[in-house]
Amino acid sequence: MNNFSLALERYLRQLREERFSHATIQKYDQTLRRLERELGGLLQSDATVGPVLVRWRTERVRRFEDDEISASKVVNELNILRGFYDAALAANFVTHNPARTLKSVWRGAWEPRPMPLEHVQRLMEATEPLVDASGEPRLAALRDRTMFELYYNGLRRQEVCRLGTDQVRHSVAEQTLVLHVIGKGSRQYRDGKPREVPLSPAAADALSTLLLVRFLPAEERALWLDQARGQVEQENLAPYVAVERLLRKRLRETAPCFVTGHPKRQGEWQVSERFANRRFREYLVLADLVDADRQPLPYGPHSLRHSFVTELLERDVDSLRVRDLAGHTSVVTTQMYDKVLLSGKARATRALPVTWKKVAV
């Protein structure tokens, strides 16, 4: 086995340890093997590999400017190369990362793309009815609706797909369910701890219903809810207490919150990000959120997260608090969402008391 194969195996093992999806790891593997062939070797001498990568980047930029490839393709390939060389550097296959000095392509200033509130409501309604004619919950629809509610509560698609039952807590102080969310990449932790995300009433109700339906038979659900009602003053908090008891006493080991069947395998499997994207597009069509060619509008799960941030800022929630809820590394990222709102100055002046009386002219 040559050095490239050894470095590649190390890199792919690192991705598996970081819980990248099987499809993503396969894509990285194929991309690196293709670049190894095209460039005549990724682990050439330091004097050789640098100029080779510069010529590769120049050719990619030319193709991008000629509209032959997208900017995201160049960015993705460059990020894969950087990650591979980082792994190779850690294993002493190279003395430095030659891809770190390569500049990416300019894709224009980034702006959030939130869904209008009307479109959010139509998307949520497309998952209904959540129960069948006999009154039994439709588990697939309930799963999808819960995922949508969590996106709309500020979670990233990756965070939702990987959510485990051990990350769900009932907070007596907050009077809701709280998720201990592990973010992605450098945003996994803040101050060494997962970020805590209190759920909105809609998201908490959806998640508690899903967990109770998945892990308790119908007759037991009724009994557990009755017992929980005796422990709280407000009846709407009973499902959260029942979920806390379920997680503490019934589920000894963590389990994925969101699962699906597989046409070629038996049993249930944790949902993938590709599956989440596909289901989102299907519901866009069901909600009639399509263009003139009946293609889904350019929304994705992250659009609901953008809507979450913009809705909170529109309601004058402190940007530092929004940053913590969304898991942004810097408050600067949070403040970029002001671009899709009224300017900060205009919203500030609207807070002044109204002293002018309209005059007919």
Confirm whether pTM is higher than 0.75: no
Across all residues in the chain, what is the average pLDDT? 87
List, for residues 300-332, the tens digit of each pLDDT value. Answer: 999 999 999 999 998 889 999 999 999 988 888
pLDDT number for residue 5: 93
Q: Which range has the worst mean pLDDT, 155-159, 189-193, 195-199, 218-222?
A: 189-193
Give me the percent of the chain exceeding a pLDDT of 90.
58
List, for residues 162-214, the tens digit of each pLDDT value. Answer: 999 999 999 999 999 999 998 765 444 455 578 899 999 999 999 999 999 99
Residue type, 19: R
> In this model, does residue 342 exceed pLDDT 60?
no
> In this model, does residue 74 exceed pLDDT 80?
yes
SS3 string, the chain, reads CCHHHHHHHHHHHHHHHCCCCHHHHHHHHHHHHHHHHHCCCCCCCHHHHHHHHHHHHHHHHHHHHCCCCCHHHHHHHHHHHHHHHHHHHHCCCCCCCCCCCCCCCCCCCCCCCCCCHHHHHHHHHCCCCCECCCCCECHHHHHHHHHHHHHCCCCCHHHHHCCEHHHEEEECCCCEEEEEECCCHHHCCECCECEEEECCHHHHHHHHHHHHHHHCCHHHHHHHHHHHHCCCCCHHHHHHHHHHHHHHHHCCCCCECCEEEECCEEEEEECCHHHHHHHHHHHHHHCCCECCCCCECCCCHHHHHHHHHHHHHHCCCCHHHHHHHHCCCCHHHHHHHHHHCCCHHHHHHCCCCCCCCCCCC
pLDDT number for residue 261: 75
pLDDT number for residue 186: 43
